[in-house]
Amino acid sequence: MAKKPKRDRTVRREADRDAKKALNDRLALARLEPGGAPERAIELVSASLVEPTARGIPCPACGATVRVQDHTAETIESRRLRVVRVDCARCGFTGSRYFTIAEKALN
């Protein structure tokens, strides 16, 4: 077995720190994506699309498919929103996705 270079541990610690920073950056970015916050709710034409659409947005932490835990109708800042709680089976991430149902859904 080859001897490890002395600075291996330092390199690993820097890599850990970079990974955490990258994860935080990804999570912050995800909140700016459509559906990531109440003010960025995704408009859908039918309530039946809420859960499939929420499942279609991958885990912001690891990219895996998320599971729908809960789906509620809430009023946030006087807007009627659908809030879907999702979690990731792979990394344990949990978060909310926000949707609004278009008023004129019958076009």
List interacting residues with Zn ion (CB under 5 A). 59, 61-62, 64, 88, 90-91, 93
| Secondary structure element (H or E) that encloses residue 54, with its range | helix 50-56
Nearer to Zn ion among residue 49 and residue 62 (C-beta): 62
Nearer to Zn ion among residue 44 and residue 59 (C-beta): 59
Three-state DSSP state, 12: helix
Q: Is the separation of the CB atoms in 82 and 99 below 8 Å?
A: yes
Closest distance of CB 49 from Zn ion, Å: 23
Nearer to Zn ion among residue 17 and residue 90 (C-beta): 90
Alpha-carbon span 43 to 10, nearest angstrom: 47
Closest distance of CB 100 from Zn ion, Å: 25
